[in-house]
Amino acid sequence: MEECAIADKAFDLIIIGGGPAGLTAGIYAARARLSVLLIEKGLCGGQIAATEKIENYPGFTEPLGGGELTSHMEAQAKEFGLNIKTFAQVESVSERDGSFLVKTGDETFSALTLIVATGATPARLGVPGESEFTGRGVSYCATCDGAFFRDKDVIVVGGGNAAVEEALFLTRFAKKVSIIHRRDEFRADKILVERAAKDERIEFLLGYELASIEGDGKVERVRIKSNKDEGEKIIPAEGVFMYVGTHPNSSFLTNIIKLDERGYIITQEDLGTSRRGIFAAGDVRRNGAKQVVIAAGEGALAAISAQRYLSELAEE
């Protein structure tokens, strides 16, 4: 994707992150005629860009590719005049004389207000086969990919609420769902565990660790190891759903805004953060659901709040 020429380094608004939240914020802010720069560490698109099909984004009767959806968002934002700087990772944010300074590898940009939309990265276990089969049977999102496993056997890895909730969700499609958890007890809420225990399509494999994911071009089976003895099992499965946590991309903000204990940005109703003038949207924010439509909605709200903040500044 071509990068816009960025002659100026001072903007009304800088958006950090070019996923659905950042791009939607860009559409709203550029359309409101603010001078806006979006900084993205790679190419725009975010996590969804790698997904083959997205079926739950409203407005499309035919599922479209994740990358196709976000490239439409990017084109729309550029149409309204959004400046985009790609392959520039934001390393730090500081405040000086009423402006925010945003530092990438070799450049510093300034703006009166900021929107952080840097998303989160699903945690990886790092077991053999995981990277090789990501997108070919290994998934980090049952809501997104569950429907592709109709009448198939799948594995869910993890013991928290996300793992058990998503295992329950997967029973809508899968023939059998085996939950592998390394401890003897789930961390998930009891009510969820009880619900899963009652479902005959769900099997619990407690006290086991995932050792490897195997297959020929696509997932065919997993190998699991007991934590109590040397026991090993091979479980046939075509899908492996990983719920071993996520990491918000917020480490460059630790000294400037309040994060929760896991690093997610804490926001108010208007998506303002603990520092006036900095807003946050999408998966990097502490909220319940991580979905494109939610990230896009929050990007729109953050842009509207940033505009209001700029009007307040002008009046002060």
Which residue numbers are catalytic? 141, 144-145
For the chain, strand residue ranges (E) read 10-16, 36-39, 83-85, 92-96, 99-103, 108-116, 120-122, 138-139, 153-157, 176-181, 202-206, 208-214, 221-226, 232-236, 239-242, 246-248, 278-280
DSSP secondary structure letters along 31-56? HTT--EEEE-SSSTT-GGGG-S-B--
At closest approach, how far in Å is the CB of 131 from ligand FAD?
Answer: 13
Which residues share a beta bridge with 239?
154
What is the per-residue binding string for ligand FAD in 75-114, x denoting contact by CB under 6 A?
Answer: --------------xx------------------------
64 contributes a contact to ligand FAD by CB under 6 A: no
| Tokens coding 178 | 């085996």
At closest approach, how far in Å is the CB of 197 from ligand FAD?
Answer: 28
Distance CA 16, CA 10 (A): 15
Please report how the helices 292-315 and 66-79 are oriented relative to each other, as an axis angle in degrees rounded to 10.
Answer: 20
| Tokens coding 90 | 């934001």
At closest approach, how far in Å is the CB of 117 from ligand FAD?
Answer: 5
Q: How many residues bind ligand FAD (CB under 6 A)?
A: 36
Question: Under rule CB under 6 A, which residues in 119-178 are in contact with ligand FAD?
Answer: 119, 122, 139-141, 144
Q: Binding residue for ligand FAD (CB under 6 A) from 12, 14, 15, 18?
A: 18
21 contributes a contact to ligand FAD by CB under 6 A: yes
252 contributes a contact to ligand FAD by CB under 6 A: yes
Question: Under rule CB under 6 A, which residues in 200-239 are in contact with ligand FAD?
Answer: none
Q: Binding residue for ligand FAD (CB under 6 A) from 14, 155, 167, 292?
A: 292
**Nearest residue to 17 (alpha-carbon basis) of 280, 315, 210, 286:** 280
What does the binding site for ligand FAD look like in residue numbers (CB under 6 A)?
A: 16-22, 39-42, 46-48, 51, 54, 56, 89-90, 117-119, 122, 139-141, 144, 249, 252, 282-283, 290-293, 295
